[in-house]
Chains A and B, each alone.
Chain A
Amino acid sequence: MADLSINLAGIKSPNPFWLASAPPTNSGYQVQRAFDAGWGGAVWKTLGDPILNVSSRFAAVSFNGQRVAGFNNIELITDRPLEVNLKEIYETKKRFPNHAIIASLMVEPKQEKWHEIVKRVEDVGVDGLELNFGCPHGMAERGMGSASGQVPSLVEKQTYWVKEAARTPVIVKLTPNITDITVTAEAAVNGGADAISMINTINSLMGVDLDTWNTIPHVAGKGAHGGYCGPAVKPIALNMVAECARNPRISVPISGIGGISNWQDAVEFILMGATGVQICTAAMHHGFRIIEDMIEGLDHYLEQKGVSSLTEIIGKSVPRYSDWGNLDLNYNIAAQINTDVCINCNKCHIACEDTSHQCIDMLTGEDGRSYLKVREEDCVGCNLCAIVCPVDGAITMVETAASQPPMTWNDRQAALNTAK
């Protein structure tokens, strides 16, 4: 078996799979069940001053019959007394000394508030802290969560206050509800963060009921925006992780979060620079038992790749992520249709005809049978036809010979400038 253990800024766990701060980590009972099932770590449901929750808290989108393509909540931080949580953290840590327990924290942006809570959670033996600057609803209206997470100076200052008191590693959890996440990530680093995690949930309204005209979900006929997560947010989260990973000014480890549902998703985040991952929605959809396939699938993948330790692959795809200006303008691919496999639904034709470059012809062979053919010279290699094609292997995007040597937009501009 490959070595799956990680060390994220000094926080060690037997595998890279942590439960994100959310309902799955509400209590000692749950976290201990999760560790028994195989999870490597847990970020406890955010601790702070007591709050009140509403009833009707979650909603989800089904996509063409698949449930929970995206998930939304208007739940606040923990609604259990701090003392109870602290006692359970202590007990859980005692039973599972080798698993990572991280306390997620959210308090008002005041130095003494942060100092106090940091001291209290560290006293019960947590392995690290995660500052919740991310939840976009409810707490944000009170100046916490994403409200402070959207202001770089507040991120920096609060991180600094925490670092003044903290003895364990500090992770800053960032909100995606911002134009450029690297700005707040940098602010966290400047404040002394040992690591960053992302993403928290994205502002969302799940739907409107066509009969009652109520929002979905609603609380006694009224709704408020929630936080979006689950499979649908994965590409957004992956980009944010990748942007931070490739930014030289953000030199701290990353804990990747957002839409991770299985080991394959986790590998993508790790290749894109995450040292470990956190998961919420997938566990809420299926229970803690999903961890078995996650660990086994990851292990088999590494073995098949001949990699003995997970840490060897962290960030391996980061150098392949860049700016548009660095992409080769002379690289060409074109669609090819395998008529033996094609089932003649004509979806590629109409997609290309109406919405792309009109280069898939509907033809009739000598035997009277219809078939589809790409006019390669007109194909711009956009992938649309392959994306809409419902059959494996019917459309392949193949590299075509480049007529020119590689040249990027940036190369081109540089060349034009020197020519001037």
Chain B
Amino acid sequence: MRPIHLFSYSLAKEVFSVVTIKTQRISSTHLEKNFEETDPGFTNQEALEESNRCLYCYDAPCIKACPTGIDIPAFIKKISSGNLLGSAKTIMSSNPVGASCARVCPTEELCEGSCVLNHSTSPIPIGKLQRFATDWAINNEQILFKPGSPNGKTAAVIGSGPAGLSAARELARFGFQVTIYEAAEKAGGLNTYGIVSFRLPQPISFWEVEQVQKLNVQILTNTKVGKDVSAEDLLNSYDYIVLAAGMAHVPDLHIEGEELEGVFDAIEFVKSTKSGDLTRDFTGKRVAVIGAGNTAIDGATCSVRLGAENVKILYRRSVDEMTAYDFEYEFAKQDGVEFRWLTAPKRIIGDEKGRVTGIECLKMALGEPGRDGRRSPAAVTGSEFILPVDAVVKAIGQTRHLSLIQALGLQHENGVVKADKETYQTSHPNIFACGDIVFGKGKGDAMVVTAAQQGKLAAYAIHKQASAAGTA
């Protein structure tokens, strides 16, 4: 029993405390406010109360439910004892992007969903406690890990998203000399550019990047493999390559009007809101978002937060087939996003200046469940109708980095790199691939946390292979 806070020493007190002021959810004048992190995070008191509620189970199911296997009871226990540095280390040692995951993981489906308290009271808010501990480390500018003693081996990592960072971090801890090649201006992958600021602000992603850099990992940004440096060069210069380039842009809808001004790629669109320079072009506009996955939700909520007057998500199937998570659906509804189910775009209509003015849609009907268990939609003849809109955001998935994969000479299936399920070794013995680039259809949702875990596993396999080669 800890005596009242007044007399007790607690590291937890050094955490900034947030005073939540209830504001209107969306501001029409201060757009920047709309892109600030919506969730204020736990206060010290909330963290203390919730951490003390954790049962500290033995062989806890939450550990198994976390793809990166974070020792969750241990990190929570450390919050309650005021050992926040230890707590952050426990999290980040298992998950190199544990601060981002605290914010973006679908925790209801993972750790929190498996909490034994679901069967008695209510589950421990693991994600928010994870955020509390990692926020402490961020705010106290902690460097959590040290590089291993050099083993004389080199590795190139293509892509600095969750998978690449994770692989690089573990390789550096094993003593590899690691260089990351990153096409974008800043490192972090979709954590930096793809996941909306109001859920994952860029500084969080940058802190994770910095943690990896502090292990003497060199990150070459603005350096695209296949353009600024050839795949062949990498193959010749490094002992190992980790391919973690993720997925590419949103594919075309292949309908009329796609080239009009006012048609956006959802990922590019979200990216444009991440740097803080917000466009005023959406104020008062009507927006249609095509698709109903995570990206569509992000495209829709970003539109609302840019001041759009009306935002509709058009999806050709029904609410049951939607791939966005429940919490995302709820979030979008609270933001005032409308959902139009069983609605497919037929053509985008523009004015004489080439600007979007509307979208013609078709009503759909669902048939029998297909091979993936989802019921496939079919157009209802003669059901065409027109929605007047000023912008169309395409969010129907992502294309693949085919040319890069081919340049490396790797086997793949429709752009999904073939890799061993345990070692992530590709058809080339010294190239390992992880993250979205090996993510195939019908395998659930692509998640930051699985990308991170695969990066770790690829690093372990490389380390094992290198050690075996060293002793041979």
Binding site for B on A (CB under 8 A): 63, 66, 69, 231-232, 234-235, 259, 262-264, 267, 286-287, 289-290, 292-293, 296-297, 300-301, 304, 340-341, 383, 386-387, 391-393, 397
Contact = CB atoms under 8 A, between A and B. Distances in A.
Q: Which 3 A-B pairs have the closest CB atoms?
A: A297-B83, A262-B81, A231-B1
A297 B6 contact: no
Contacts of A391: 45
B33 interface: no
Contacts of A292: 74
A341 B20 CA distance: 10
A264 B45 contact: no
Interface residues of B, number: 28
Nearest to B13: A392
A322 to B, nearest CB: 17
A231 B4 CA distance: 14
7 contacts: A63-B1, A264-B10, A264-B82, A289-B58, A290-B77, A293-B74, A300-B85
B19 interface: yes
B134 interface: no
Interface in B13-67: 17, 19, 43-45, 52, 56, 58
Contact of A392 (B2, B5, B80, B89): B5
A306 to B, nearest CB: 15
B58 A287 contact: yes
B86 interface: yes
Contact of A393 (B11, B17, B52, B80): B17
A102 to B, nearest CB: 26
Contacts of A232: 1
Nearest to B44: A392
A304 B82 CA distance: 13
A293 B86 contact: yes
A304 B4 CA distance: 23
Given A296-B86, A392-B44, A397 B6 contact: yes
Nearest to B58: A287
Contact of B78 (A286, A297, A383, A392): A297
B52 A383 contact: no
Nearest to A66: B52
Contacts, number: 62
Given A293-B86, A300-B86, A387-B4, A392 B81 contact: no
Contacts of B82: 264, 297
Contact of A297 (B2, B3, B4, B81): B81
Given A264-B10, A296-B78, A341-B19, 12 more contacts: A259-B1, A263-B83, A264-B8, A264-B81, A287-B58, A290-B77, A293-B83, A293-B86, A296-B83, A297-B78, A386-B4, A392-B44
Contacts of A69: 1
B75 to A, nearest CB: 9
Interface centre among A304, A393, A397 (most CB of B within 10 A): A393
Nearest to B56: A286
Contacts of B10: 264
From B4, B9, B83, residue with most partner A Cβ within 10 Å: B83
Contacts of A262: 80-81
A347 to B, nearest CB: 13
Contacts of A293: 74, 77-78, 81, 83, 86
A263 B1 contact: no
Nearest to B2: A264
A8 to B, nearest CB: 24
Nearest to B87: A293
A66 B48 CA distance: 13
Nearest to B77: A293
A329 B9 CA distance: 26
B146 to A, nearest CB: 12
A392 B45 contact: yes
A393 B12 CA distance: 13
Nearest to A396: B6
A340 B19 contact: yes
A397 B2 CA distance: 19
B45 A297 contact: no
A293 B74 CA distance: 8
Nearest to B75: A293
A43 to B, nearest CB: 23
B1 A234 contact: yes
Nearest to B80: A262
B122 to A, nearest CB: 13
A300 B82 CA distance: 10
A234 B82 CA distance: 18
A234 B43 CA distance: 27
Interface string B273-285: 0000000000000
A184 B89 CA distance: 45
Contacts of A231: 1
A340 B19 CA distance: 9
Interface string B151-162: 000000000000
A204 to B, nearest CB: 16
B90 to A, nearest CB: 9
B45 to A, nearest CB: 5
A330 to B, nearest CB: 22
Contacts of A301: 11
Nearest to A297: B83
B9 A264 contact: yes
Contacts of A383: 6
A66 B2 CA distance: 12
Contacts of B58: 287, 289
Contacts of B74: 289, 292-293
A386 B78 contact: no
A348 to B, nearest CB: 13
A264 B1 CA distance: 11
A407 to B, nearest CB: 25
Contacts of B81: 262-264, 293, 297
Nearest to A259: B1
Contacts of A386: 4, 6
A46 to B, nearest CB: 27
A383 B89 CA distance: 36
Nearest to B85: A300
A370 B78 CA distance: 39
A340 B44 CA distance: 17
A349 B60 CA distance: 43
A392 B83 contact: no
A386 B5 CA distance: 9
A289 B4 CA distance: 26
